[in-house]
Structure 1
Amino acid sequence: MGYKTISPTNFSGDCQSKQELSEPDVFIHTSGSLQITAHSSILASASPVLENMIDRSDKDSSSESVIQIPGVPCDAVTAFVDYLYLSRCTNEQMDKYGIHLLALSHVYCVPQLKQMCSKGLAERLAMENVVDVLQLARLCDAPYLYFKCMKLLSNHFKAIEKTEGWAFLQENDTWLELQILHFMDETELRKKRARRQKQEQSLYMQLSEAMECLEHICTEGCTDVGPYDMELTKKKAPCSKFSTCQGLQLVIRHFAMCKRRVNGGCLRCKRMWQLLRLHSSICEQPDSCKVPLCRQFKLRMQEAKPKDDPRWKLLVKKVASAKAMSSLSLLKRKQL
């Protein structure tokens, strides 16, 4: 077979000095009848696999070393050799031969090129090629690219399900199909957990805000509800948490006048009882606290400590944490 011989393109001798680089002593044969001349010192320093191939070739023959790189386009092999010389890859080369360069970097153990190809292919993912790139990422052990493919599949599964790549995958690689579906299920579960945690955190922040408003109302007074042992000398302006504060004042006034709360038949009163108990669980100064029943709840909880509901303990812990975070955030804002 006749080979067309070329040298690595764009090589300016900046990787080693010209004194070190004598005449090329390695011939790389591609599947497209192309022969690339190269230097064994450059190839061996860039790839341990090529180094072993050159050593074996030197032992088997006294003539020039020959390396066969079949199965990929000759231009992709040329781009690969260029990278071994110059340690860089152009956008045009990545656009045209990114998939082939990833395979070559994996086979010949060139980790820097492999990392570059993983990022480059991840930026160029599309619904039409994501299944093919995913299969290659798995074969080449490229976890970053594999995850990016999985994420795109999960986010646009309905559209990708209609592509030829997905149909081919279903017919030829059912194990990978199961992995994709499992990843999608896990992703949906994580989203649900994140939404639930966000809702729970919002609830804890609301309860923390209600604690602050309760202490504020019972200590300083706010609008038309004030401390039970002190007269308001001037009209109070609405506080910064007016919505929460106003709602809590309505509940306090209802709680003071409701006749059904004695028998435990009023839902609004039950909530007020829970709010007072929650405050007492968090309060660190029950003896001087002006919130009603704070000390009484604290004493009752100390007596019934072994029988505490673990869910109530968790609620107290979460609300206390939310209150601390709120205070820290307020302090930071004041400092700014």
Structure 2
Amino acid sequence: MCEGARTAVCGGAAAHDVDVVTTGGRKKIPAHSSVLASASPVLACIIERRQQDRESGKIGGRTVVRIRGVSDDAAAAFVRVLYAGSRCGELGGGAEEDSDEDMDKYAVQVLVLAHAYQVAWLKRCCEVSIGARLTADSVVDVLQLAGLCDAPRLRLRCTRLLAKEFKAVEKTEAWRFLQENDPWQELDILQRLHDADLRRRRWRRKRAEQRVYMELSEAMDCLLHICTEGCTEVGPAGQAPAAKPCRRYATCRGLQLLIRHFSQCHRKSCARCQRMWQLLRLHSALCDRPDQCNTPLCTRFKTKEQEKADDDDDKWGLLVKKVKAASVFSSLATRKQMTSSTLC
């Protein structure tokens, strides 16, 4: 900030051409019309209208801009921050400390002014400053302020804190006052919390489903590996098992035990055997070379699937698509890791 502008904000007489008058006219802040007009389109319109009235002779003296609805100190802080610049935290010299102090003391009132005068960058800074000091006692009032000032980031911050500490918020005086005087606002808050909880549950369910598809994809890779190369306990027909475990031995070991049980069990209602049948069927649905595949029953399952292709089996088809997509994502991630390690 230039030295002349800083002097003007502090009340000096360095070529200022506008007087900012606060509530009740008890305080006048000398300022520059170019600085105010460049910071706010609303202030630019006000200053232009005042200057036209002065040129036409309707009013005399210096151009006056009135800032009402907040305390005198908050209005002065608003003007100082406008002079400080449009980048919070990147101010020069003592202006940075002054701006930070103003934001700490008057962030709520400055947010109202930033919204009224359409100063977008200052509005974002106020949202960050207020959101950083949110507590269970103040979150209800701040949420209402965020709604009045159209501050979506601050509203989201409040909603997250409400969802996290709702039991503490329910005990506050602000929440009790809201229940007694504004039941529609209470209902809106409860609906927001309910929607957030539903979204969180859907996200967790989707993550759990994705893990299942990834595990099935890994099981398909291990099954193909066992039937083609063999592992420590099970190998292809006519070959001895491998001496060393593979890199996916945690999954491969369980699959080998399941294969050994499947080859020895003769019960018709065995749950483990049914699981193995499903894995073999899933492999057959994913396999693109059944004629060259060493996996047992691959060709048989492939033929059966083709014979009943006209039958509706949406769930099975969706499962095959999901596992295939998980396999593609897994291969891409592996390839990316290998590329990164090669570059390093």
* TM-score category (smaller protein): 0.7 to 0.9
From 278, 282, 299, give the equivalent of 1:278. Answer: 282
Is 1:200 aligned to residue 198 of structure 2? no
Letter in 2 for 1:76: A
Identify the residue that residue 112 of structure 2 maps to in structure 1: 103
Amino acid at match of 1:39: H
What are the Cα deviations for residues 191-238 of structure 1, in whole angstroms up to 9, with x where unaligned?
11111112111211221122112111111122232112x232x75222
- After superposing on structure 2, the runs of 4+ consecutive aligned residues of structure 1 that deviate more than 4 Å are 14-17, 55-58
The residue correspondences of 1:1-336 to structure 2 (distance < 5 A) are 12-13=3-4, 22-31=15-24, 33-58=26-51, 59=53, 60-87=58-85, 90-228=99-237, 230-232=238-240, 236-261=243-268, 265-335=269-339, 336=341
Deviation string for 1:21-64 (max 9, x for gaps)?
A: 73534351334822223333433333333334344445241233
Q: Which moved more, 1:25-34 or 1:240-249?
A: 25-34
Contact map agreement 2:229 2:235 (CA 8 A) in 1: yes
Q: Deviations over 1:76-126 (max 9, x none)?
A: 111111223332662111110000101111112222221221222122222
- Whole-angstrom CA distance in 1 between matches of 2:79 and 2:312: 71
Q: Give the C-alpha shift of residue 173 in structure 1.
A: 2.6
Consecutive unaligned residues of structure 2, counting only runs of 5 or more, are 9-13, 87-97
Instruction: Summarize the Cα distance change of 1:11–1:277 in structure 2 as closer, same or farther, 3 Å threshold.
Output: same
Decide whether aligned partners of structure 1 residues 318 and 114 sit closer, same or farther in structure 2, where only a CA change above 3 A counts: same
Matched residue SS, 2:3: coil
In structure 2, C-alpha distance between the alignment counterparts of 1:112 and 1:327, rounded to whole Å: 44
Aligned mates of 1:40, 1:153 — CA distance in 2:
42
Q: Deviations over 1:272-320 (max 9, x none)?
A: 1111110000001100000011011111111111114110011111111
Q: 1:296 to 1:130 in 2, by over 3 A?
A: same
With over 3 angstroms needed to count, the CA separation of the structure-2 counterparts of 1:323 and 1:55, relative to structure 1, is: closer
Question: Retained in 1: the 8 A contact 2:20–2:29?
Answer: yes
Distance 1:274 1:145, change over 3 A: same
SS at match of 2:310: helix
- Count of residue correspondences: 319
Extract unaligned runs of 5+ from structure 1: 1-9
TM-score with structure 1 setting the length: 0.86
Residues 142-201 of structure 1 show CA distances to partners (whole Å, capped at 9, x for unaligned) of 111111111111111111111122122222332222221111111111111111112111
Q: TM-score, normalised by structure 2?
A: 0.84
Which amino acid letter does the alignment assign opposite residue 204 of structure 2?
R
Percent identity of paired positions between Structure 1 and Structure 2: 50
**Could you tell me whether the CA contact under 8 Å between 2:17 and 2:62 is conserved in 1?**
no
Cα distance in 2 for residues equivalent to 1:25 and 1:240: 75
Counterparts of 1:309 and 1:273 in 2: how far apart (Å)? 17
Amino acid at match of 2:39: A
d(CA) in 2 for partners of 1:125 and 1:91? 17
Q: Secondary structure at the match of 2:227?
A: helix
Give the partner amino acid of 1:197.
K
Greater shift in the superposed pair: 123-132 or 299-308: 123-132
